[in-house]
């Protein structure tokens, strides 16, 4: 199996350094105090089915853990197992894009199982941090939920910063009176929207954990969930602001493009006017009329050419002065 770590915790302490097998962990859940934390990364369908059989997980929760979701959620199965889906995010500096992943958590009596999919947050730092707080570990599987939530929300901060830099770059381009690539703005808008879908729906479950709405949440753990909830709401506010800014940027970019198009149209119209008047004069004298007084002048032909040049120069000067050229 793609097991990262599996450990037994009792009295706020890890009982051994070696990784256990799922069968051994399930036996401890049933027969010994404390709880076990089993961590898996991108398991196959067969591997998840084996874990389902070993720990007695609900089939619908296991099915959800095998697919990606657009929204986080917290559900309770059989009044005993809490199933949590979290959307993770990671900013790729090289590609200037946001990669999304998912973490599923199964929390039951005596066990916590975490399943990471895609570009999910690394939970090893969360495990190490939790092991440094025996008082939290002593609370049971709910401590794992706090550690994972805290890690996921902390990992949102670099994503906010990366998106903010990208937005500022696009803003700088527009303020220089240059049109930013519309495709880039739409791409940023889509990333921010996907990020919002990962962040905003998580506020409801965290509010419930903070208030103790869900069963099995020790009152001592509520203050820790409140701290995570505060950080999450701050991220949510920043994401909402970024989405609004991108909407304004898109409108401003379209205005810049419209101004540039109007400039081009004015220039084309100006040159068309310069060409039209001499063309009209030339076409007038190109008609086959017998009685045209100017035809008898010795300087008639040169005078017409001078008239055309003077007209063209005069039009060019006036149009340039008006800002059309």
Q: Residue 295's domain spans which residues?
A: 257-321
pLDDT at 322: 67
Indicate whether 180 and 140 sit together in one domain.
Answer: yes
Give me the number of domains the chain comprises: 2
| Residue pair 158/166 in contact by the 8 Å Cβ criterion | no
Indicate whether 250 and 262 sit together in one domain.
Answer: no
Lowest mean pLDDT among 53-57, 117-121, 136-140: 117-121
Indicate whether 237 and 294 sit together in one domain.
Answer: no
Task: Calculate the alpha carbon distances from 301 to 91, 171, 286, 296, 297 in Å.
Answer: 73, 58, 11, 10, 8
182 φ/ψ angles, rounded to the nearest 5 degrees: -60, -35
| Residue pair 139/224 in contact by the 8 Å Cβ criterion | no
pLDDT of residue 218 exceeding 90, the answer is no
Last residue of a domain, one of 256, 271, 299: 256
Element (H, E) at 263: helix 219-285
Q: What percent of the chain has pLDDT over 90?
A: 29
147-158 residue pLDDT tens: 999 999 999 999
| Residue pair 108/35 in contact by the 8 Å Cβ criterion | no
If one compares 253 and 291, the residue with the highest pLDDT of the two is 253
57 φ/ψ angles, rounded to the nearest 5 degrees: -80, 155
Indicate whether 252 and 262 sit together in one domain.
Answer: no
Last residue of a domain, one of 256, 281, 309: 256
Mean pLDDT over all residues of the chain? 83
Maximum average pLDDT range among 113-122, 239-248, 308-317: 239-248
CATH number for the domain spanning 308: value is 1.20.58.340
91, HSE (Cβ side, Cα atoms, 13 Å): 19
Indicate whether 231 and 315 sit together in one domain.
Answer: no
Indicate whether 293 and 160 sit together in one domain.
Answer: no
The number of beta carbons lying within 10 Å of the beta carbon of residue 245 is 17
Indicate whether 90 and 177 sit together in one domain.
Answer: yes
pTM score, whole prediction: 0.77
Indicate whether 226 and 270 sit together in one domain.
Answer: no
270-314 residue pLDDT tens: 667 667 767 766 666 666 666 565 666 666 666 666 667 777 677
If one compares 307 and 224, the residue with the highest pLDDT of the two is 224
| Residue pair 8/28 in contact by the 8 Å Cβ criterion | yes
Indicate whether 189 and 218 sit together in one domain.
Answer: yes
């Amino acid at each position: 199996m793609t097991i990262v770590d599996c450990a037994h915790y009792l009295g706020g302490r890890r009982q051994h350094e070696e990784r256990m097998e799922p069968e051994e962990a399930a036996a401890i859940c049933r027969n010994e105090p404390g709880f076990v934390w089993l961590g898996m990364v991108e398991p196959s369908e067969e591997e998840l089915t084996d874990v389902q059989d070993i720990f007695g997980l609900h089939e619908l929760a296991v099915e959800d853990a095998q697919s990606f979701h657009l929204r986080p959620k917290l559900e309770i199965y059989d009044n005993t197992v809490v199933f949590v889906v979290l959307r993770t995010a990671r900013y790729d500096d090289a590609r200037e894009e946001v990669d999304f992943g998912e973490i599923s958590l199964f929390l039951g009596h005596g066990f916590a199982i975490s399943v990471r999919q895609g570009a999910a947050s690394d939970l090893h730092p969360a495990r190490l941090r939790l092991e440094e707080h025996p008082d939290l570990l002593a609370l049971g599987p709910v401590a794992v939920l706090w550690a994972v939530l805290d890690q996921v929300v902390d990992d949102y901060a670099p994503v906010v910063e990366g998106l903010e830099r990208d937005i500022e770059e696009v803003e700088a381009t527009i303020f220089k009176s240059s049109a930013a690539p519309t495709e880039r703005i739409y791409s940023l808008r889509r990333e921010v929207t996907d990020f919002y879908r990962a962040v905003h729906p998580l506020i409801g479950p965290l509010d419930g954990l903070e208030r103790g709405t869900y069963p099995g949440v020790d009152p001592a753990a509520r203050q820790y969930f409140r701290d995570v909830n505060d950080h999450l709401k701050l991220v949510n506010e920043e994401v909402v602001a970024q989405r609004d800014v991108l909407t304004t940027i898109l409108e401003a970019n379209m205005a810049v493009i419209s101004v540039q198009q109007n400039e081009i149209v004015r220039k084309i119209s100006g040159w068309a006017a310069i060409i039209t008047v001499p063309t009209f004069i030339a076409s007038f004298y190109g008609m086959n009329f017998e009685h045209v007084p100017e035809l008898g002048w010795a300087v008639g032909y040169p005078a017409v050419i001078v008239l055309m040049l003077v007209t063209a120069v005069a039009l060019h000067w006036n149009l340039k002065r008006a800002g059309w050229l």
